[in-house]
């Protein structure tokens, strides 16, 4: 029998929800769950209570949650009410001066297409001009379309790299609804609060009008001017084209791209076709897609977790790279806004590059060709190496809060990144992270290096020699009870460690006080040897995340391997200390 008392009011709320639910599948799920509660099934009451614990709200990644009935899940009820609120916000912002436009995209997850069509129907009925992407396409295509089509809003139905059971809703603002550097970026305060204020979570679903038609479906793959083709035309500019006339430099560039052997995986997501087309158009003819993962599949059958950062996610790609003697592995997450890479190191073999390492490589590449006045930026939890790279090229550098919605708003941004595999190499096109343009630029860099007898690992060594060896790592402490996150953060606030890894802590900043950046829930610790640790609750998952960085001086190229080993050992010591401290 259940240890939770029967709550008639909760059952009444659930019954009222099920009676309105336009999705018969989730309505039936909720009725069955209520029956399990009444029968006293262990855990059923807690599950029902969680589904009705709160209303989904805009967070770090928009709306994101497990699919299922209830206001704390992703479902048709939540989507329709959210779309209605976005419609009210757009109309209020326009104030009758113009007809707002929204562009809507979706990935291949369960219910993504349904949620996109429901959103289009709600917004169209409200008087919004709606353009719908023609098929499941990557998030960067939608983000590009918001700017290219001069839309006031963009909606992308995706849960990015979350588990198969989840879905989500990313919202962008642009054109006349957004001014300045944030045009085309994901929403931040106060826009998120303004939209949230327009969402009536108790609004009867029957009162939300759905248009039967009236929205425009943008040209699909069969059309010469398809939205995907237009996006590909745009991002082609991130890599130089060979010259019009045949000369040694142009021929070398063409040969370098043709010779590079690339293994590509979209991890069962929607980026495979688009990324392969981007590479092929640029002259990369030796691209092999991981066959088991090349087609969209909402169940992600070959991975435990569809995130390139997770252990095992790139095993199939690395195996194919080994078999084919590849030069580079490129992996996109399921909605292709992130880019992971793996390369073969001379002594240790194949390994995935850390998100910071890819950021350094792309940052060095972008800084070398940046115009005066350009700015490089990264989130505060990312490595400090990019600041050193910017300084060496006489460029400005900015730190931002975690999340690309902040990085993308940096004025005069030329390149931005976050350590969680997010990179913006063409902010004039996509004011967000874009795993495909980033992958294209990285492939081009690898090709040119190969042609000169160098490699991406060699560039990493050169950066270490120039700026000091920067080594980064993470520790994540997952919790079952979200309340534990606040408890652990408060414990660190009131009793911060006096030393980390044997180094005295000489700097402590409570980031919630907003001394150097806008307030955010996080703690920063710095040691006498310039080691830095930042601790913060995850914005998308129930876990506490610790970001570690050690900087070791390097005098000569021969010192790099020893410095790397020393830094790795120090990172491991600090991780062990933090794990013990956080788990009490």
pLDDT in tens, 389-411: 999 999 999 999 999 999 999 99
Half-sphere exposure at residue 370, Cβ-oriented, CA atoms within 13 angstroms: 29
* Residue indicated by tokens 């939608």: 142
As a whole number of Å, the CA-based R_g of the chain is 24
Per-residue confidence (pLDDT) for residue 5, from 0 to 100: 66
DSSP 8-class letter at 40? T
List all residues 6 or more positions away from 496 whose beta carbon is below 8 Å from its beta carbon.
505, 508, 523, 525
For the annotated catalytic residues, the residue numbers are: 160
* Residue indicated by tokens 């292709």: 336
Helix (H), strand (E) at residue 11: helix 8-20
Closest CA to 120 of 93, 164, 89, 86: 86
Per-residue confidence (pLDDT) for residue 2, from 0 to 100: 43
- Whether a cis peptide bond, with omega within 30° of 0, leads into 190 is yes
What is the domain partition of the chain in residue ranges? Answer: 1-53, 56-217, 257-466, 468-582
**Are 96 and 209 spatial neighbours (Cβ–Cβ below 8 Å)?**
no
Rounded distance between C-alpha atoms, residue 71 and residue 14, angstroms:
10
Same fold, 56-217 and 257-466: yes
**Are 115 and 80 spatial neighbours (Cβ–Cβ below 8 Å)?**
no
CA distances from 397 to 53, 87, 468 (A): 42, 37, 18
Backbone angles phi, psi at 108, to 5 degrees: -105, 15
Architecture of domain 468-582: 2-Layer Sandwich (3.30)
Cα–Cα–Cα angle for 126, 131, 134, nearest 5°?
135
Helix (H), strand (E) at residue 469: strand 469-478
Rounded distance between C-alpha atoms, residue 430 and residue 427, angstroms:
5
Rounded distance between C-alpha atoms, residue 518 and residue 406, angstroms:
11
Rounded distance between C-alpha atoms, residue 538 and residue 57, angstroms:
15
Compute the 3-state secondary structure of the chain and give helix, strand, coil in percent, each to the nearest 5: 40, 20, 40
Closest CA to 21 of 69, 82, 64, 74: 69
Per-residue confidence (pLDDT) for residue 484, from 0 to 100: 83
Ranges under pLDDT 50 in the chain: 1-2
CA distances from 402 to 155, 323, 508, 519, 562 (A): 21, 38, 19, 11, 32
Q: 56-217 maps to which CATH number?
A: 3.40.120.10
Strands of the sheet containing 287-289, edge to edge, are 287-289, 262-265, 328-332, 339-345, 349-352
Q: Is the dihedral of CA 137, 277, 308, 521 positive or negative?
A: negative
Fold for domain 257-466? Alpha-D-Glucose-1,6-Bisphosphate; Chain A, domain 3 (3.40.120)
Rounded distance between C-alpha atoms, residue 77 and residue 55, angstroms:
11
């Amino acid at each position: 029998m259940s240890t939770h008392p029967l709550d008639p009011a909760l059952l009444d709320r659930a019954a009222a929800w099920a009676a309105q639910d336009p999705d018969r599948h989730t309505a039936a799920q909720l009725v069955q769950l209520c029956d399990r509660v009444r029968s006293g099934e262990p855990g059923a009451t807690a599950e029902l209570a969680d589904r009705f614990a709160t209303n989904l709200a805009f967070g770090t990644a928009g709306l994101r949650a497990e699919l299922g009935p209830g206001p704390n899940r992703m479902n048709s009820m939540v989507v329709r009410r959210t779309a209605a609120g976005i419609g009210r916000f757009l109309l209020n912002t326009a104030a009758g001066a113009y007809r707002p436009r929204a562009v809507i995209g979706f990935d291949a997850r369960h219910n993504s297409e349904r949620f996109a069509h429901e959103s289009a129907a709600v917004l169209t009925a409200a008087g919004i001009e709606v353009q719908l992407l023609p098929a499941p396409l990557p998030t960067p295509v939608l983000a590009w379309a918001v700017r290219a089509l001069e839309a006031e809003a963009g909606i992308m139905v995706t849960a990015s790299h979350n588990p198969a059971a989840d879905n989500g809703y990313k919202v962008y603002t642009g054109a006349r609804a957004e001014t300045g550097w944030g045009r085309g970026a994901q929403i931040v305060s106060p826009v998120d609060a303004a939209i949230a204020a327009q969402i009536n979570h108790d609004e009867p679903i029957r009162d939300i009008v759905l248009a039967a038609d009236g929205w425009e479906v943008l040209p699909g793959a069969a059309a010469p001017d398809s939205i995907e083709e237009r996006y590909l035309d745009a991002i082609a500019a991130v890599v130089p084209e060979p010259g019009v006339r045949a000369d040694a430099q142009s021929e070398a560039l063409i040969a370098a791209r043709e010779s590079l052997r690339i293994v590509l995986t979209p991890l069962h997501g929607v980026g495979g076709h688009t990324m392969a087309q981007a590479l092929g158009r640029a002259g990369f003819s030796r691209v092999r897609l991981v066959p088991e993962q090349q087609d969209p599949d909402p169940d992600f059958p070959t991975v435990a977790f569809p995130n390139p950062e997770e252990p095992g996610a790139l095993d199939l790609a690395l195996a194919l790279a080994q078999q084919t003697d590849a030069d580079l592995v490129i992996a996109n997450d399921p909605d292709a806004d992130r880019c992971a890479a793996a390369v073969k190191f001379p002594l240790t073999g194949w390994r995935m590059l850390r998100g910071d390492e890819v950021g350094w490589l792309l940052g060095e590449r972008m800084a070398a060709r940046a115009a005066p006045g350009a700015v490089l930026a990264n989130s505060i939890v990312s490595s400090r190496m990019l600041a050193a790279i910017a300084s060496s090229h006489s460029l400005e550098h900015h730190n931002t809060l975690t999340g690309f919605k902040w990085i993308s708003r940096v004025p005069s941004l030329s390149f931005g990144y976050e350590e969680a595999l997010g990179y913006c190499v063409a902010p004039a096109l996509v004011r967000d992270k874009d795993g495909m343009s980033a992958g294209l630029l990285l492939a081009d860099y690898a090709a040119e290096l190969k042609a000169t007898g160098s490699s991406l690992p060699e560039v990493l060594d050169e950066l270490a020699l120039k700026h000091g060896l920067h080594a980064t790592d993470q520790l994540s402490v997952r919790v079952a009870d979200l309340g534990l996150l606040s408890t652990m953060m408060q414990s660190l606030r009131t009793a911060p460690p006096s030393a980390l890894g044997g180094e005295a802590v000489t700097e402590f900043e409570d980031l919630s006080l907003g001394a150097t950046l806008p307030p955010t829930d996080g703690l920063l610790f710095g040691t006498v040897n310039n080691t830095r640790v930042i601790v913060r609750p995850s914005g998308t998952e129930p876990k506490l995340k610790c970001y570690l960085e050690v900087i070791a001086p390097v005098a000569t190229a021969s010192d790099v391997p020893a410095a790397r080993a020393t830094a790795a050992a120090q990172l491991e010591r600090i991780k062990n200390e933090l794990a013990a401290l956080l788990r009490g």
